[in-house]
Structure 1
Amino acid sequence: MADSTDYLTAYAGRYRDMFPVRLATIAAIVALTFWVMGWGWAAAFGLFQFGLYVPLWQAVQTALARPDAPAAARRFRRSAEIVTLCLASHNAVFILAAWQAQPQHLDYLRLLLAGNLMVGAHQVHVSRASFVAAVLPPSIAAMVIASYQVGSDPRLLGAVALFVVGVIAAAWRQWRSDRESIELMSALSERSRELRAALAEAEVNRSAAERANKAKSRFLAMISHEVRTPLNVILGLTEVLRGRPRPAAETTIVTDMADAGGMLLRLLNGALDISKIESGQAELQLAPVDLAGRLDAIARIWRSRVEELGLTLEIERQGSPEHFVVMTDEARVEQVLINYLSNALKLTPHGAIRILARALPASDGRIDLDFEVHDQGPGVPGDQRERIFEPFEQLAAGRAAGGTGLGLALCRASVEALGGALGVRSARPGGAVFWFRFTADCATPAIDSSHAAPALNLPDRRPRILAAEDHPANRKLLTLLLEQFGVQLTLVENGREAVAAVRDQTFDLVLMDVMMPVMDGVEALVAIRADEAASGGRRTPIHMLTANVFDDDVARYRAAGADGVLRKPIEIAALQSVIMGALLADA
């Protein structure tokens, strides 16, 4: 500590601060000495004292300018000790000499000696040696004068000794207090530097995290667009097929396609929602769900994969069918079941995987739901059962089977969002049981009308709809979907063509893709709104039809003038609602 730059800077600063008081004290002594003893004694005292403060000032300035120089603390300490010894010794010798030359001024000299002792003892001292150098010469001089005066009476000598000891003791306590305060200041300065360094590092890490988060957002937006675009075609064509009569065998196949596509879409939405899940801001999408039917659909779609692996899949339900119909977030429940089932398939070498679902009425009239997935894998050690639900945490068997280590963390976030709990326990005779449970309100089964022929109460004229879409498969899909509604459809391939079409014709509704060549959808939207504002003409309903549906994206579309956003894959009911809304607004 004594050699630290903070310690040196603190002491050098205190020496610098004492200069005005010390120099003013010397000047006052010089003036008083001139008055009492004449100019010769005053000049002798002043010149020597002022002269000694010159090297001390230089030592202080050097220490403050380069506190981190090699051996800087040692040089400053030695300089201060030498100058202090010279100052105190000069004071003592000066007073003894003046006493011998002019003994009639002894009272003045005694007071001057006592004052110098007290000032020297209580001034700043960088070390014990400096303190001793300040108090020893005047103490010796005081005892010499007292010894000469005492004669046969030792009481005066004792009183002087007691005075000197008292001054030294009080000054010693102050020096220790000063030293401790400077050590505390040095420690605080060091801690402050560490905190500033930590803050600077945290700022660097925050900037890196922000860049990583932006990169993640761009990546997720790209994944969202690239996956939703073909998925839009698959699900859209499936809905078209479901609306047409066909043999029962083909109907089952189309239904399985629709169920699998719906699961894929919900899994995609859950995975892309990871940012909200991590921040605890994920919102539940509550709707009536038949969880028994969802479980059957999952088993039906995954059964072929189970059979490929030489395993068997058993489903057991406990509870009345109506108790499985609840208000919940279908995607969250489905996500957990599929992740549990996927892990069981990866970890079970042979045998059966069993899914158990219970739905029992709770005391408050709600429904307690409990799901378990039993596998016959290596199991999970007791001390690892909490850790595996943390992001990127995997057991050795899980790493060997592949995966990112995010699946169970997403399950945990989803179940907690549902207000439930999850975990894992050992199975008998071997394996593991992954479970989750939550409570939900009862619900009435929703009527599935997605495959029914759409029915719109259209006006006498056929509604005119403009669709801007650069992807050929999506244009074909829009044609198939909208022809069911009996509309006049105009298709363009980029934003510039959309702007030109709106200038030339009147449309009841514009469906605008976002990512298009030549001019993107947002630029086209802004251009159309600018034309409407300049001409004072009718405001055309414009809905963005896009795979980029993050909250920031939707806010950007709205700010540019969009009336709404339809996400890809297209939901028939949502499309029908947008068309009806545009027609009613124009009525």
Structure 2
Amino acid sequence: MEERVRELEERISLINAERERARRVLDDAVDSLNVPVSLGQSGDVSDVLESVASRIRSLIDVGEIAFFLISEDGLDFSREWCDPPESADFFESERTILVEDGTVAWALGRNKPMVMTSSDGTPLLIHSLTAQDEPLGIMMACIEGDPGRVMDISLAFVTVVLGAAAGVIKNSRLYRMINDLNGELRGKVSRLQESEAQLAEANQAKDRFLANVSHEIRTPLNAILGTAAIVRGKSPAEMDRALDVIKDEGHALLALINDILDLSKMEAGFLDMDEAPFDLFELLEALDGSYRSEAKRKGLDYSLDLSKDIPRWVIGDPIRLRQVLSNLLDNAVKFTSSGGVSLTVKSLRSDGEKLTLSFSVSDTGIGISKEAVPRLFKPFSQADGSTSRKYGGTGLGLAISRKIVRAMGGDISVESERGRGSTFSLDVEMALCDPPVVHVEADKERGSLRPLSLLVVEDSDTNRVVVEAMLKDMGHDVTAVSSGREAVRALSERRFDGVFMDIQMPGMDGLEATAIIRERGGPVLDRDVTVIALTANVMKEDKERYLAKGMSGYLSKPVRREDLAEALRDVEPGEPRRSVSGRYVLDMTGLVERMGGDRTIAALVLETFRSDLAKIVEKIKTSVENGDFRKVRMGGHSLKGAAAGAGAWGLKIVGHRIQTAAESGDGEMLSDLVEELILEVDEFEKSFSEGGE
């Protein structure tokens, strides 16, 4: 009986011990449930994991513990926290093994504890950190003692604690992401507000610009049109004065257009800068001669001050440098009513091969307020909008000047005070060079040109008449045509010393005509004839493209007499001119020569081509109507080959153009070419019926 009582007492004691142990576990678990709140206020993942580890140790008897987290982008799985730090190598080794055997992937897929044995025999507790079914990582902990004594309720609370911790980590990431997005949004809002302010300022500048440009364009146009209206019937002296007015105002209008084009090119990143030797003294003397007289007309003093160490010959872009200095001197004279204007040039430093030149333009004019200085170098801006009405100008000059100077490796600045004048300064780096060798005899020989035979190709009646008149006034023999097709025809019937070729023309443009001129075995008599482009396209890449297409030179519109004269210096007189009537349409002589002089065979070839021509033309017309570009291309190719064999150069050219248009799918062009084809066929039949050449 006593033994039975002792057994009962022992069992009661064990039950009481287990109950006390369970009570302590429950108390610790309840305490651990408060962890997420305090962790959420921390925001630091390391602090979160350290607190979680402490709660886990209060629930289960564990020693070393580590947390591995998946990165926010899901591309990395790395150790985030470990205690003690020296156990890091152990956990890294175990992590590698568990990843390779798939245990980690399995643990991440279930939100339950898992007890297993490590590679060195240590009991391991592995549990995922999961928030709202999204695995964020795993916990690995070394169990001390018998794993079998770990209570299920303790493991259940571990799951609760880790789930709460995972929620805190996820919320922390979301909070940080929201903060980042808010920061980005605030930045975008700030940039948007700044852009709106800039847009409003740009709109105001645009309005001022349009008003100024309208004024600047209408002023010379009014003078040109008004002078032209009143000069009719006047005396020769009055006519000469009127022509001087028209010329001066035309140059003013051209200068404005050039400024707008310059700014457009610069904004697009196409600022053309040349590097060539030039005489700096000659440039400065030319400016001095021009602006000294301008200043004198306004009753102003003018001075040019050069330091003694200024070199004469340097390498740079004299045209752009003169453009900048001219703009500064223009403004200085324009905005100064009394006192004077000066240009000062100094050499700041030199390394033997390069030097820095400093240019300063000073005046005693109206000056600029401190508030207005930042606006000076912005496009379409002036210090005071009212100045454009009083003094004229668009506000482009200084913006263009700064871009040019910066392209030269320097910068431009201004010092000014309202009512006390201004000083604009710029520094540019240039290389030193020796004077170029001048071949006097060669220049004299080139300067004495005999009358040349010239072809002008221009679709604009006005431009064609102007260029033709200027060339004839120089004493040259000029033939003028209005299309690329007419140009090729003229060159196939007569030799010319040079061709002035418009680029943009309806039908066959200048580039296409030049390609035919340069074609080996083509219809023209002289495929090496000088071809000079006439175009309003002034971009550097346009010039390079024209030269690459076979053109010999380039002149920009509006063309000046001196530009034409300079271009003609490179035109060498060719062989004596001879006419070959009808060669463009049908080169019978060439066909006979290719047939070894046998006219019977040549006639047979020609008759065969005529019989095939109607079929080819009909096939092309039908295919164009049906929109079958493949058949059109084949028809154009057939026409090109057959016509070349028969010496019908005009039809051969049309066939090539039809083939090219079909390859690019240009239906509108093909419709025009069908009409041109019909005309060429009519001319061919007419030439054939007249016996060819």
**More helix by percentage:** 1
TM-score by length of 1: 0.50
Larger relative CO (CA 8 A, sep 6+): 1 or 2? 1
TM-score by length of 2: 0.43
**More strand by percentage:** 2
